[in-house]
Amino acid sequence: MQESFDHYFEEDSLYQAISRFEDMIKANTLCYFDVCEFEIIIDYYLDQHNFKEAEEAVNVGLSQHPSAEEIKYRLAQLYIQSGKPAKGLRLLREIENLESSNSEFYLLKGSALNLLGRKEEATQSFDEAIRNSTEAKDDIIYNIAVSYINTRRYQLAKKYLMLAFEINPENLQVIHEIALVSERIDDLDTSIKFYNKYLDLDPFNDHIWVSLGMVYSNKDMNELAIDAYDYAIAIDPENISALFSKANTLVNMAENKEAIKTYLEILDLESDNIQAYIYIGECYEKLEFFKRSIYYFTKAIELDEHNADAWYGLGIAYFQQEQFSESLSYFNKAKKLDPENSDFWFMLGEVYRKLTKIEQAANAYNRVIELDPNDFEAWICRAELSYKDNSDLSGAIKILVKSLDFNSEVSTINYHLSSYYFYSNQSRKAISYFDKGLQLNYKEHTEYLSDIPAKSRKSVNSLIKRNKKFDKN
Ramachandran class of 220: left when φ > 0, alpha when ψ lies in -120 to 50, beta otherwise: left
Q: What's the confidence (pLDDT) of residue 9?
A: 38
Q: What's the confidence (pLDDT) of residue 325?
A: 95
The arithmetic mean of pLDDT across residues 231-254, rounded, is 97
Q: How far apart are CA 80 and CA 74, in angstroms?
A: 10
pLDDT at 11 over 90: no
CA dihedral of 244, 249, 254, 259, whole degrees rounded to 10: -30
Q: What's the confidence (pLDDT) of residue 471?
A: 67
Q: What's the confidence (pLDDT) of residue 98?
A: 62
The arithmetic mean of pLDDT across residues 449-463, rounded, is 86
Contact 210, 178 (CB under 8 A): no
* 38-59 pLDDT per residue, tens: 988 999 999 888 999 999 999 9
pLDDT at 272 over 90: yes
- pTM for the model stands at 0.82
Radius of gyration of the chain (CA): 31
Contact 293, 313 (CB under 8 A): yes
- Compute the residue count for the chain: 473
Task: Kindly state the DSSP code that residue 328 receives in the 8-state scheme.
Answer: H
Query: Any idea what the Cα angle at residue 46 is, between residues 41 and 51, rounded to 5°?
Result: 100
pLDDT at 274 over 70: yes
3-state helix, strand, coil in the chain (%, to 5): 80, 0, 20
pLDDT at 331 over 60: yes
Q: How many CA atoms lie within 13 A of 116 on its CB side?
A: 20
User: What mean pLDDT value characterizes the chain?
Assistant: 92
Q: How far apart are CA 427 and CA 413, in angstroms?
A: 17
Spatial neighbors of 378 by CB under 8 A, at least 6 apart, are 342, 346, 349, 365, 368, 369, 372
pLDDT at 100 over 60: no
Q: How far apart are CA 109 and CA 121, in angstroms?
A: 9
pLDDT at 431 over 80: yes
Please, what are the domains in the chain?
1-99 (1.25.40)
Q: What's the confidence (pLDDT) of residue 10?
A: 53
Q: What's the confidence (pLDDT) of residue 328?
A: 97
Q: 461 falls in which pLDDT band (50, 70, 90)?
A: confident
**Strand residue runs (E) in 6-90:** none
The three-state secondary structure class of 63 is helix
Q: What's the confidence (pLDDT) of residue 28?
A: 87
Q: How far apart are CA 341 and CA 368, in angstroms?
A: 8
Q: How far apart are CA 144 and CA 190, in angstroms?
A: 20
Q: Which residue, 358, 340, 341, is CA-closest to 349?
A: 358
* 338-386 pLDDT per residue, tens: 999 999 999 999 999 999 999 999 999 999 999 999 999 999 999 999 9
Q: How far apart are CA 116 and CA 156, in angstroms?
A: 17
Q: What's the confidence (pLDDT) of residue 4?
A: 40
* 109-121 pLDDT per residue, tens: 999 999 999 999 9
Which is more confident, 355 or 460? 355
Q: 467 falls in which pLDDT band (50, 70, 90)?
A: confident
